[in-house]
Structure 1
Amino acid sequence: MAGSAGPTGFEEYAVARGPWLQRVAFLLSGDAHLAQDLAQSTLVQAHRSWKRVQAADDPNAYVRRILVNELRTLQRRRSWSEVVSDEPATLRLAPAGDDVEVGVVQRLEVERLLGRLSPRARAVLTLRYLEDLPATEVADLLGLSPSSVRSATSRALTRLAEITSTEAHDDDR
């Protein structure tokens, strides 16, 4: 491998897991452009710590923690502000399963609904249900207590139910 190419295995990891990393970044941030930046900065940090990433029991969990830390750092900066837009996101998630059309529609709906939530609610639901992490791990990643994660999850699910109920009621008119 060339001298500037980096440690053995990193390039393969970055290529194989890059789409996953960008998807999680998008679901956490709700912004396609920010997701690309977060995924890139996460990979830079992972490259710098590649020996530790490789040595971790779960390299994906290690990289996910880097991603969440990158997002939290960005959110703490004074320049951070969330701008709500009616424009649809430009990043589209790859479909899963056999029925591509249904998978695409479902993923677009998930993107849209997550975009209606606060950043914290979006992060909790993304990590709990889309990344399938236990509440204790989500709490650790977000710097919350497990009970705060459970409460935030409950409130976010209630909010989603309200949104879908309101939309269904509006559609009936």
Structure 2
Amino acid sequence: MRPISPRDAQFSEFVVARSPQLYRNALLLTTSPDAAEDLVQTALAKVYAAWWRVRGAEDPVAYAHGVLIKAFLSERRRRSSTEVPVAETPDVAARDPDVAERLALMAALATLAPVDRAVVVLRHWEDRTVAQTADALGITEAAVKNRSLRALRSLRGVLEPRPAPVTTPEIAQRRTR
């Protein structure tokens, strides 16, 4: 058995400390636990390959998150024809309201375009600035603002129940005239 190098030990510490956060963001991006695990593994493999550059970066965590976002967007562009998304998730944990809310959120996020989903995750879950989000995604700040506005409007439309129109006897009487 070969001894663990200092490089491997540093990377292992990084993975143990940052994997939960990377997984959470990957889950929000992919809306699927299996796809999220695959995405994290892909991102960590790329980070490991460039670990000499990552550990010298100003913020290795931001670097890893950038790799995760880029891997997600790249994967969305070249989606294999053999992967078929499921229309409905099994009703396994619908009894737990937190799980039901999470499933509703994942379904709503899945309706967004991949770049819009990435903007929402970076801006609102990671609490990044417009400039940081634009830099991570390689788009302009105006595009981040525009996509964020449209994505949030779309999510509200999917997540908020629409109230029934209020009809009072007075309004109903006016309509019949």
Q: Same fold (TM over 0.5)?
A: yes
> Where in structure 2 are the equivalents of 1:6-25 lying within 5 Å?
6-25=7-26
Alignment partner, residue 96 of structure 1: none
Match of 1:87 among 89, 103, 113: 89
| Alignment gaps of 5+ in structure 2 | 165-177
Does the Cα contact within 8 Å between 2:119 and 2:144 map onto a contact in 1? yes
Asked if 1:129 is matched to 2:124, the reply is yes
Aligned in 2, Cα 1:17/1:32: closer, same or farther, shift over 3 Å? same
Q: Could you tell me the percent identity over the aligned residues?
A: 34
Match of 1:169 among 149, 163, 176: 163
| Alignment gaps of 5+ in structure 1 | 91-100
Asked if 1:153 is matched to 2:148, the reply is yes
Q: CA deviation at 1:119?
A: 2.1
TM-score, normalization by structure 1: 0.76
The separation in 1 between residues aligned to 2:134 and 2:86, in whole angstroms, is 26
TM-score, normalization by structure 2: 0.75
The separation in 1 between residues aligned to 2:148 and 2:100, in whole angstroms, is 24
- Out of 42-51 and 144-153, give the one that drifted further: 42-51
Does the Cα contact within 8 Å between 2:76 and 2:114 map onto a contact in 1? no
Runs of 4+ that moved beyond 4 A = 3-6, 101-109
The separation in 1 between residues aligned to 2:90 and 2:131, in whole angstroms, is 32
Helix, strand or coil for the counterpart of 2:70? helix
Q: CA deviation at 1:153?
A: 0.4
Alignment partner, residue 61 of structure 1: 62
Q: Which structure has the greater CA radius of gyration?
A: 2
- Out of 79-88 and 51-60, give the one that drifted further: 79-88
- Out of 2-11 and 21-30, give the one that drifted further: 2-11
The separation in 2 between residues aligned to 1:43 and 1:131, in whole angstroms, is 19
Alignment partner, residue 120 of structure 1: 115
Number of aligned residues = 159
